[in-house]
């Protein structure tokens, strides 16, 4: 047994410190590890050599500032994580390793009226198919991240009432999937995972304060404050879709009138255009038609943008984020929607907050949530257990490069 303050416990702590630094950054040179950890260059060199022999890290020659250097990253064989995204009409699964490489990814349609059990059955089968296709060792699965379109109670893990997946209300997806797979499972709502995906891999890289606005069957926001997802004590932070715009407006699924969602989400917007464009019209179709010059679709997208901008202005006044990232199908409309959002932000936000705000479309498109689920799973892999040759614990995700 190690005693506190002993040489062995100090060495163990230094090992974990180096692993944590590499994981947080994705990859670092040995000189960068020394600066990040405060350890001497000689100590870092010895620890990296030990970790390489252990199979925990990989070392690749590189250059930094015109000098030869050694780039250190976690080994791709250290473990596997899985990301799962349940949407209104889709199921998407991705498989990645602890070197933050995406090994496989697949999506398939999901019946909106299916039960939680049916959806989880589908996810279990799809995960198995990807694992078999990549030939990875199932025993190396360290954990699973899952995104669902609804609020998760942080204490019980129960999914709240959701009109987006009506058969899922009251389900405990983490507990149920954990029982099926026998590995740790971590669940969050899709907007939070979209924010995490964009923060780690997309349009949010390099910032510590971010709001990710997802406009789809509903309207939600994932909030990043000081580099971490903010969920609130009950797990419902970011429900921007239920900001009241008009007290006399349409009745929202939450029971109130005139919520932002009743003016911006697909379930309310599409009926405006279906009489002239057909009952099969989707938001993806609306965006495509608008970009091709359809006047009606352009007008509706502009109106939606102005309404979203009102909600973004409220976020700016309350939280003053440095960046807002727009996700979902609507983001593909580019300036057709971003311009009206900026107009509303300029009109309703405090000028000092509006001036400092960067509004960007998401870089990951429909992959944002499943990659955020991967990042969530990566964030729960612990440094101590990596050193022990396993992969489960707690920590936070780094910033890998996608492949």
* Nearest-angstrom CA–CA distance, 278 and 286: 11
Domain range enclosing 54 = 11-74
* Long-range contacts from 348-355, C-beta under 8 angstroms, 24+ separation: 348/309, 348/310, 348/313, 348/314, 349/312, 349/313, 349/316, 349/317, 350/316, 350/317, 353/316, 353/317, 353/320, 354/313, 354/316
Q: Torsion angle of alpha carbons 56, 105, 118, 213, nearest 10°? A: 100
Same domain, 173 and 290: no
With beta carbons less than 8 A apart as the criterion, state whether 315 and 321 touch. Answer: yes
Same domain, 357 and 241: yes
Give CA 230 to chain center in angstroms. Answer: 12
Measured in degrees and rounded to the nearest 5, phi and psi for residue 267 equal -65, -25
With beta carbons less than 8 A apart as the criterion, state whether 330 and 296 touch. Answer: no
Q: Is residue 17 part of a domain?
A: yes
Domain count, the chain: 3
Measured in degrees and rounded to the nearest 5, phi and psi for residue 275 equal -60, -30
User: Which residues are CB-neighbours of 177 under 8 A, at least 6 positions away?
Assistant: 84, 120, 123, 124, 144, 146, 185
Q: Is residue 16 part of a domain?
A: yes
Q: Is residue 1 part of a domain?
A: no
Tokens of 216: 């789809």
Which residues share a beta bridge with 212?
222, 325
Tokens of 129: 């198919």
Q: Which pTM does this prediction carry? A: 0.83
Distances (CA, A) of 395 to 196, 228, 398: 14, 12, 10
Tokens of 106: 């697949």
**What CATH number does the domain containing 41 carry?**
1.10.10.10
Same domain, 218 and 345: yes
Q: Is residue 375 part of a domain?
A: yes
Q: Is residue 400 part of a domain?
A: no
* Nearest-angstrom CA–CA distance, 24 and 36: 10
Q: Is the dihedral of CA 137, 142, 147, 148 positive or negative?
A: positive
Same domain, 22 and 126: no
pLDDT in tens, the chain (403 residues): 455 568 888 988 999 899 888 877 778 899 999 999 999 999 999 999 999 988 888 899 888 777 888 889 888 777 889 999 998 888 999 999 877 789 999 999 988 778 889 999 999 999 999 999 999 888 889 899 999 988 788 778 888 766 567 778 788 999 999 999 999 999 999 999 999 999 988 999 889 899 999 998 889 999 999 988 999 888 889 999 999 999 999 999 889 999 999 999 988 999 999 999 999 999 999 999 999 999 999 999 999 999 999 999 999 999 999 999 999 889 999 999 999 999 999 999 999 999 989 999 999 998 999 999 999 998 887 667 677 754 433 333 334 444 4
With beta carbons less than 8 A apart as the criterion, state whether 34 and 41 touch. Answer: yes
Same domain, 98 and 116: yes
Same domain, 39 and 86: no
Same domain, 353 and 238: yes
The DSSP symbol for 365 reads G
Cite the beta strand spans of 248-368 per DSSP E: 323-327, 358-361
Same domain, 226 and 374: no
- Describe the strand order of the beta sheet including 90-97 as a list of residue ranges: 102-109, 90-97, 80-86, 141-148, 185-189
Q: Is residue 4 part of a domain?
A: no
């Amino acid at each position: 047994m190690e005693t506190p303050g002993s040489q062995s416990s100090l060495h163990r702590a230094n090992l974990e410190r180096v692993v944590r630094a590499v994981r947080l950054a994705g990859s670092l040179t040995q000189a960068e590890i020394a600066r990040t950890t405060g350890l001497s260059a000689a100590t870092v060199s010895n620890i990296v050599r030990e970790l390489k022999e252990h199979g925990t890290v990989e070392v690749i020659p590189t250059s930094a500032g015109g000098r030869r250097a050694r780039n250190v990253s976690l080994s791709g064989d250290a473990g596997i994580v899985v990301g799962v995204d349940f949407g209104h009409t889709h199921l998407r699964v991705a498989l990645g390793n602890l070197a933050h490489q995406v090994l496989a990814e697949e999506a398939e349609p999901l019946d909106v009226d299916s039960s939680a059990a049916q959806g989880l059955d589908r996810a279990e089968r799809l995960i198995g198919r990807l694992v078999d296709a990549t030939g990875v060792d199932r025993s190396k699965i360290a954990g699973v991240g899952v995104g669902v379109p609804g609020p998760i109670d942080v204490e019980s893990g129960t999914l709240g009432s959701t009109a987006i997946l009506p058969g899922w209300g009251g389900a405990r997806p983490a507990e149920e999937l954990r029982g099926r797979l026998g590995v740790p499972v971590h669940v969050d709502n899709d907007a939070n995972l979209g924010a995490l995906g964009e923060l780690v891999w997309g349009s949010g890289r390099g910032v510590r304060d971010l709001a990710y606005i997802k406009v789809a069957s509903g309207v939600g926001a994932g909030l990043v404050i000081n580099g971490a997802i903010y969920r609130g004590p009950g797990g419902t932070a970011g429900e921007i879709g239920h900001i009241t715009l008009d007290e006399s407006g349409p009745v929202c699924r939450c029971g109130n009138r005139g919520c932002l969602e009743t003016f911006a989400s697909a379930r309310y917007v599409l009926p405006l255009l279906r009489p002239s464009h057909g009952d099969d019209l989707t938001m993806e179709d609306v965006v495509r038609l608008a970009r091709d010059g359809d006047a009606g679709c352009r007008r509706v997208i502009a109106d939606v943008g102005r309404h979203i901008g009102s909600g973004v202005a409220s976020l700016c006044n309350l939280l003053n984020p440095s960046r807002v990232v727009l996700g979902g199908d609507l983001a593909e409309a580019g300036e057709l929607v971003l311009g009206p959002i900026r107009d509303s932000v300029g009109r309703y936000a405090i000028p000092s907050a509006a001036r400092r705000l960067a509004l960007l479309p998401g870089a990951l498109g429909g992959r944002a949530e499943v990659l955020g689920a991967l990042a969530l799973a990566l964030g729960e892999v612990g440094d101590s257990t990596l050193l022990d040759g396993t992969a489960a614990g707690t920590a936070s995700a780094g910033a890998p490069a996608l492949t």
